[in-house]
Amino acid sequence: MIVVSDTSPINNLAAINHLHLLQQLYGTVLIPEAVYRQLTDPNFPVAGAIEIQTFIWIQTRPVQDRTLVEALSNELDIGEAEAMSTTSHFVSTL
């Protein structure tokens, strides 16, 4: 199974050394580019930064629907908006 994640699950599980649970549960984890940027911002180091750059089961995907991201950004942060947009696109292609 493949799942799309935003920043919090990766950050929080990495902080307690249990990021491997996502791989065990889902196999592959997709993250949008905004989530990648949030986790790897050199000015704001967080748990999970190294892992998302090295674990092959965490894959970054570009957003396909910028209009949806913009609409969702009115209520959500950019990582959440892109994650929901990526999920929407991924589900619609199955």
Is the predicted pLDDT of residue 26 greater than 90, yes or no? Answer: yes
Within 8 A by CB and 6+ apart from 90, the residues are: 2, 4, 30
C-alpha distance from residue 33 to each of 21, 23, 43 (Å) = 22, 19, 17
Would you state the pLDDT for residue 52? 94
Residue (of 19, 23, 78, 14) closest to 46 by Cα position: 14
Would you state the pLDDT for residue 69? 92
- Mean pLDDT over 31-47 rounds to 94
pTM above 0.95, yes or no: no
Number of domains in the chain: 1
Is the predicted pLDDT of residue 90 greater than 60, yes or no? Answer: no
Residues making up the chain, counted from first to last: 94
Which structural domain range is residue 57 located in? 2-92
How far is Cα 45 from Cα 86, in angstroms, rounded to an integer? 24
Is the predicted pLDDT of residue 21 greater than 90, yes or no? Answer: yes
